[in-house]
Chain A
């Protein structure tokens, strides 16, 4: 644990600092000694072969699993053992590998759900629709529509989420995550199943939200060209252990990474 502390001292306080994080399921060590630091407005990629433990890392960071080893700090606050909604309220939001939208709700409502803490009215105001209810609803609806506009979804605001085409469902999921007002966005394979045009749009989208909201992003992705294009820093894990970290150039020529992806020569 001392190592982790030393690492951070030579940098400005990072947004998130993960040190020696690990989890064991029964006898299986799914993630082991995972270290990570993400500064403000940084974009870090997390790659690795299938089953390497990438999504498990996400689940650890968002409170779905409680880590069995190590700890992680977000904005200087220890996050171990916090529940998912508490993690989100502290400022870490995520998207899912297989899109999880509120399918029967409209696009606008999907965003509104994530904005729940920003609604200022209480139960009484809601039931009897006092002035505060209308005020808060109108104010947040305007905000939600504004957010949808960034993702070019403003015309689809009243569509049932399920009926959106795949690429737009992905975007809506990101929009929903943004609506929580987070500072660190975890994207789990955002380009999975997208065609090249959609991927290009997504890239543009990620660029815009990074600039506009000044957020940091941790990205899991299989599309190497996308990862190499946008990530400033890449971490490669295999069998739950970090095997390499560095800039895209360093990673693409790292023999360990090539071995993990393509297999070693005999």
Chain B
């Protein structure tokens, strides 16, 4: 490896930090310290993080307004659930423990691939359009996916089950029970970290640069030799792939699947996270995903006022911070630590003065 020295140091530090975090989550998860409620929020937050960061790739970095992200999640969820169900019925890796983990991983990979494939299929016609038109057509594709899955007899509108549609039977598929969900916390966290890391390395490569250049000026991008159609579809499909992974986790999170959970409102919900966190900031998407998921759950008891509070927060946000919470800022562990050390003291003061 020819990694530059300072980056080597930084990535080692990041690795250690992530390892500590994952270790803590694993320990807490296996000890079943948290109530199933908290575990549920944790899973939903992780799903939110993967969905928001991947949607940010299309909306924030590629600069294309896509509103059908939940459609790809739906593909992932149903692929995972059905595949897992089929495997259990066929008695392939049907056991608990390690077998279950392997089954889950296979389901995740299959979901990612299928969602990515659909991303390409949807992306090729849709990305010829721009702005509002693209938003409308992606919204349309999201709904098409939902309605088609709803129409499949063995997937069903009322849930996923054997023959007809009994949600209970789905438990033999991928739906994890509370104890398993708690045990799997570390795995979900690891998956989320991996997804975010891969999205980050994608953005910081030649592919990411090509994609950001399309956002900044598509004509100039083509005039610099970038095949804009190719990179647009690539970015879109890449983003869809992660939605598939998130869908896979979603399928494991609930004991029954319903297409209604991942309709248009879900797409808007994830879109809001991206806007809220800042288009073009992965850090922002993560913070917004955790924040909004928690807020959503916390406000569930005031169900009537939930959307009201939500809307007011958004309106205020758009007035006072139109670029989102983070703008395009990215958190860096090494820089933050550096600031706390002696050298950073002066810098910090400077910032305080500016503020």
Whether the pair B225, A112 counts as a contact (CB closer than 8 A) is no
Question: What is the total number of residues of chain A having a CB less than 8 Å from a CB of chain B?
Answer: 39
Whether the pair A88, B4 counts as a contact (CB closer than 8 A) is no
Residues of B contacting A96 with CB < 8 Å? 219-220, 223
Residues of B contacting A116 with CB < 8 Å? 206, 209-210, 224-226
Query: Which residues of chain A from 94 to 119 have a CB within 8 Å of any chain B CB?
Result: 94, 96, 100-105, 109, 112-114, 116-117, 119
If A103-B216, A126-B206 touch, does A131 touch B2 (CB 8 Å cutoff)?
Answer: yes
Residues of B contacting A123 with CB < 8 Å? 207
Residues of B contacting A131 with CB < 8 Å? 1-2
Q: Does A176 contact B (CB under 8 A)?
A: yes
If A123-B207, A131-B2 touch, does A89 touch B216 (CB 8 Å cutoff)?
Answer: no
Residues of A contacting B228 with CB < 8 Å? 85
Residues of A contacting B150 with CB < 8 Å? none
If A96-B220, A127-B198, A127-B201 touch, does A85 touch B227 (CB 8 Å cutoff)?
Answer: yes
Which of A84, A105, A177 touches B216 (beta carbons < 8 Å)? A105
A interface footprint on B320-336 (CB within 8 Å = 1, 0 otherwise): 00000000100000000
Provide the bound-state CA to CA distance between A103 and B63, in Å: 13
Q: Does A133 contact B (CB under 8 A)?
A: yes
A interface footprint on B226-259 (CB within 8 Å = 1, 0 otherwise): 1110000000000000000000000000000000
Whether the pair A102, B221 counts as a contact (CB closer than 8 A) is yes
Provide the bound-state CA to CA distance between A117 and B220, in Å: 16
A-B contact pairs, 29 of them (CB 8 A): A64-B219, A85-B225, A88-B224, A93-B225, A96-B220, A96-B223, A100-B220, A100-B223, A101-B216, A101-B220, A102-B217, A102-B221, A103-B216, A103-B217, A104-B215, A104-B280, A105-B212, A109-B209, A113-B221, A113-B226, A116-B209, A116-B226, A119-B206, A126-B202, A128-B201, A134-B2, A134-B3, A135-B2, A180-B225
Name B residues whose Cβ lies closer than 8 Å to a Cβ of A: 1-4, 198, 201-202, 205-207, 209-210, 212-213, 215-217, 219-228, 280, 328
